Structure 1
Amino acid sequence: MTLKELECSWIDGFPKPMIIAGPCSAESEQQMMETAERIKKNNMGVSVFRAGIWKPRTKPGSFEGVGAIGLEWLKKVKTEFGFKTATEVANSYHTSAALDADVDVLWIGARSTVNPFTVQEIAEALEGTDKIVLVKNPVNPDLSLWVGAFERLLAQGIKKLGAIHRGFSTYRKTEYRNIPNWQIALDFKNQYPNIPMFVDPSHICGNRTGLYRVAQEALNLNYEGIMIETHCLPDKAWSDASQQITPENLAEIISCLKVRNSNISGYEEDLERHRMLISDIDFQIIELLSERMKISEKIGSIKQKNNIAIFQPDRWKIITQYAQMKADETGMNKEFIEKIFKAVHEESVEVQNKIMTHKP
């Protein structure tokens, strides 16, 4: 069986969107029980209560989770409030302990997904399990690495699989803690539409203000679920306090979310007309880019003949200033326009490089 042949009908047993919510970290039995109680009291449609038992941290000395004792608190949450439970596993010990504690949903974190050896260790510890296993995207934007993690799990007979889109690390300063880079998640959905996709707005945003927007954007893209962090006292949380919200705030967000209809019946003609216009414009863009690269070839020839370096900082400065000016004039997103110009410039450099390195 391949990933494309996998039937992930397990998601049909949950409401859409399937919501997994709870604190970033289990800190105490009281914190876990109070958070769960307030989630239950607000009747917000949360199906699974999550809590980090072991926390992989960037630097040593940070709070790295309470350890196995937290699994007992998860059991108590399940017994008293009826939630299914979820936690992250990062090695075979975590996995075995979580399975022994009858945790219903296990997820592999972004720092683990990036390491095939770690994923293989976890997959072997999970061999043949009937539990739901979710895989977060790797910290770096590498689709094949993400897919590879699923292939390792499937090879061990694990069939109740799902993906979590939690954003990607970047060196650039942005409004996000981890940039969404939606296209990578959409590429995954296009290749494997049978595998449910969750969004993790808490880790994408890294703050409380953007949570609703990111969650709704994911539902607009037909994601099946949401994993979000909520804490009874978020300002006093031991980890990632800035991105956690109270159960009451969570209830407000959930009440505003709208699940989109994927059925386009009745709108085909309207959509097709606009899609045809887009296709025509796309063709024109490709033609213009082709013409632009031909000019870059001529520029490359001039630079080769006169022994001129390809990269000219003053020219690049003019291009970026022009891009920002045109973005302002057209009301378009500056970051989007800058990305386009950077991509075109990089290709132009590549075209000129081929000419400059060609042996006569």
Structure 2
Amino acid sequence: MRFAPTGEQLELGRTAERLLADHARGNPLPPPWDAIPRTLDSELWASLAELGLLGLGVPEQLGGSGGGVADLCVLAERVGSALPTVPFTATATVAAVLAEHADSPGARAALARVLDGSTVAVPAWETFPSDMVPGRRAGSLTFNDTAVDGVLAAVPFGLDAQLVLAFADEGNGPARPFLVEFAEPATARTSVEALDVTEPMASLRLTGAPAEPLPPLGAHTVARVLTVLAAELIGTGRRALEGAVEYAGMRRQFGRPIGSFQAIKHVLADRSVQLDAAWMLVQAAAHAVDGERADAEVAARTALAAAADALEAVTADALQTHGGIGFTWEHTSHVLLRRARARRSLLGSPAHRLDALADRLIGSGRLS
């Protein structure tokens, strides 16, 4: 099956590239050593909201911009390449959950604030079920009537967030999703060091923070979240590969570009094929989600496993292609590798991702 982009998707990609390129001219990557961002880029965030890009993939009747997950993945791939200091994929995750539960007045009102950019909403990944995010910190939050208590160790853009999607424990039952409002004095925030310099983190201590319980996440929403995450990874991988290919064509040894040596050109060709194959799986997953097919979650987990593996391989090989210069702070290669390592910490090892995929395949009967 072929997934040729539509005219609207091509224009969406060009619009996103122009916007992100304009932003990048005044915001170098990597940032200065003594000026690593601790908060989001409010100007770019406002631009994304003004263009309706925060509502991409959310139905128009819910206040979004319409479009499907395939369209959202086009934008996520561009954001993953540019790596601006904004919580785009994180906010898309929260928006997907709010849209699923839009019959709740509280969720509907929160969704409107998220889409117009007036409320920064992010997930507390560390509380998510272990089949989505490994190493869940069980018991980090507890729910009591209409409020939650506990400590979140590392929340992306935690200094900016006003709304957080988290899972809290209720007695002996499974953890339940909640929308948690951050307000003083119920929330104490502390910036923490992050491996990924494009995604600032904060530790949050919650004491009676207002919270609204939500129903369990549906398989369709889980598939949507994982697919968009995978698209973002592809974008980061493409930037790493493009930088390595450009450098291999310029850097000369023994009177020849190093890209002419088999030890380099074959590796970069392999990584290109790997990224293309992973992107096709992302597109397949996006169409499965948009079509509300029964195999959407399996397709999403397959795409995520392939995209994460490709990102790890290409960022490591890109850094090696650049040699010693790739390790210096002023070069982009190490930033992309750090993003890959941070996403590995979030999404788990290849073995974990394949185990989660196998569980879904066996549960769906596709291996029987």
Give me the TM-score of the superposition, normalised by structure 1: 0.23
Larger Rg: 1
Give me the TM-score of the superposition, normalised by structure 2: 0.23
Structure with bigger RCO (C-alpha 8 Å, 6+ apart): 2
